[in-house]
Structures are given as structure tokens and as C-alpha cells.
Amino acid sequence: MTKIAILGGSGYTALELLDILLRHPAAEIVAVTSRQEDTPALADLHPRLAGRVDLRCQPLHADRLIARGVVCVFSCLPHGASMAAVPALLQRGVRVIDLSADYRLRDPNVYAQWYRESHHDLAHLAQAVYGLPEIYGEEIPTAQLVANPGCYPQPAILGLAPLVAGKHIELRSIIVDSKSGVSGAGRTPKLATHFPECNESVSAYNVGQHRHTPEIEQALSDVAGEPVEVIFAPHLIPMNRGIFTTIYATPHRSFSEGQLLELYRTYYARAPFVRVGTHLPATKDCAGTNFLDLTVRVVRGRVVILACEDNLIRGASGVAVQNFNRMYGHDERTALL
């Protein structure tokens, strides 16, 4: 049993992580931390867990986690807070899967530009592996620090990787139109996510300015070996969970849908959580799962890729466990089917 701790236990990604890890045959949750002063029981914070777990949240102390045998930590802290807490753990030899954005962007200037604060932990930033298993899977087993990917980047990156890898499309004119459920905005109440404000409504937000843009571009540039640019427009949808991403790309030559499907199926032949289908996907079919569903269409010579996922599982906590499985040599699917 690998003894693990979860930092920042009060939000939605921590709840999903607990839900998955409680079923994991090789992980033992020994601590969950929270900045809340009253050390609430997890079952009070998350009534869904009542009857399954008896832990109370506790303040974060690196040494105490070590003393309890913790060797791997999942950080569900917000960005900024994560890079304040993670270094002490890494220095003590703990392995970290960080669900925040703090270690995702290799270039600290890009981080500063999009997150409007300087990066404080350049040493570890340089070692971090971007935890998208289908692209960076080889580096994950030996990583000490995995920067778990954002929710929007995954369908965008995985939806484009086969075309970008083969340089089949123009790399500077890619359009990524995403539709996300509201849980992606986190658990802190705000007017924009107040029920009567977002129910029965669709809206766009942060068009061209969303922080996941550089993350998408970094990974696709890695795949391409040259700079890739996307126009990214996220939309808020009145549902709890799910992201549906529609991607429009201009191919360098004519493709049939059959050729494209073949290309995608080959590319993802060993990826158990990427399902390439012929039908147009729907978020309901991957909700509650770690699958990322996708298909392709050709319209007036353009390639349209349609990809979807559960933003809390595949988009956060599920892929974190997928990374954990790779880090500790388990079957990638353990606790995820």
C-alpha cells in the first residue's frame, strides 16, 4: 500500500480524488489537509463520503505527513498556494501530483504573464513533468513532480495531437471552442456561478484570455516540434460536469473522414482512456468516467474534431490517479474503470 495525502480537501477535485482513491487497492489515504481551522470531518465537508471514510481534515505540516509514512501527495490547492506548499514535500523526498497550474508552464515568464504573479519555485518547475499520460507517458514513471493537466487542455491537446504530430494542419490558425459545466469554476460561490445566473443560460467568458491557452499551446508545440497557436473560446453551460470541445483546423491536404479516423485510432492504439468513435460524442457518455471521447468530421475541406470528457475526473482527479498508477507501476486503469 502506498500511503498518500491530499492537500486542500474541501473542493470538488479533492472529493473526486477521495471517491476514486477509496476504491484503489494499492493506495491508502492517511491524511487530508485543509486550511479550515476547525479540522472538519471529511464526511461533513463532503456528505457523499459519509459511511466510507472517517478522516478529519488537518492543517498541513510536511513533517507530520512524513512521520505518518506519506510518500505521495496529491495537491488540490489553488495555484500560488500549491507552489508555496509543495517544495517542502519534494525536499523530503515525497512525490507530488499537483492539480494546480503552478508547475504546468515550463517558462516562468509565461506563467507570470497569464497568472499575474511571479513563479516562486523555479528549481522544481524545471523538473516537473506535464502529466498528460497519452503524450508524456514515458516520463511519468520516474517523475518526482507531476504537473497534472488542466481540464480544458486535455480534449484540446488530445483532439489535435495526431494531426499536429504529422504536421497535417496549419499550426497557427487552430480554433478551439469549448463548452464546460459549472463545476469547472470550483466550489467558491460567485455571482457568475450562482444558480439562477447560470442555469438556463449559455455564455462565453475569457475569450482569447483564458489561462489554459498557453498550456494547450505548450503541449501542442512539443508534439509539433514548432510553435502552435490556438484561438481559444470557453463557454459556460448549465450542467454540473463535462467539457465538450469543438476544434476547427485547416488541413494541408484533403482528408476523408475514414483516413482521419484511422490516423486517430493508430495514434491512440495504446491509450485505454481515449475512445475514438464514429458517432458524434456527448458529455453524458463520459460523465463519471476517465474516458476522453472523440471523433472527426470533414466540412468544406476543414477538419472538425469533437472531443469530450468529464472535467472533474478525466479533466482533473481521474487523470491524476492515472498518473499515480504510472508512477507506482500499476495498471494504468486501476480504480478508474
The answer to the question of residue 40 lying near a copy of itself (CB under 8 A) is: no
Q: Which helix (H) or strand (E) holds 136?
A: helix 133-136
Cell digits of residue 26: 494499492
Using the rule CB under 8 A, is 252 a contact of a copy of itself?
Answer: no
Active site (catalytic) residues: 151
CB-based burial of residue 225 (10 Å sphere; 0-12 exposed, 13-18 middle, 19+ buried)?
Answer: exposed
Closer to a copy of itself at the Cβ: 37 or 200? Answer: 200
124, 111, 324, 44 alpha-carbon torsion, rounded to 10°:
110
The answer to whether residue 233 forms part of the interface with a copy of itself (CB under 8 A) is yes
Q: Would you say 95 or 179 has its CB closer to a copy of itself?
A: 179
| Residues between 16 and 35 that touch a copy of itself (CB under 8 A) | 22-23
Options 204, 227, 252, 259; binder of a copy of itself; rule CB under 8 A:
204
Q: Which residues contact 282 (CB under 8 A, 6 or more apart)?
A: 244, 308
Q: Does 200 bind a copy of itself (CB under 8 A)?
A: yes
CB atoms within 10 A of CB 249: 22
Contacts with a copy of itself in 43-72 (CB under 8 A)? Answer: 47-48, 50-52
Q: Which is nearer to a copy of itself, 88 or 298 (CB)?
A: 298
Q: Is the dihedral of CA 183, 244, 196, 240 positive or negative?
A: negative
Residue 251 touches a copy of itself, criterion: CB under 8 A: no
Return the residue of 113, 173, 259, 266 that touches a copy of itself, per CB under 8 A: 173
Of the pair 12, 255, the CB lying nearest a copy of itself is at 12
**Triad 82, 86, 89: Cα angle to 5°:** 155
- Please give the residues from 71 up to 130 whose contact with a copy of itself meets the rule CB under 8 A: none
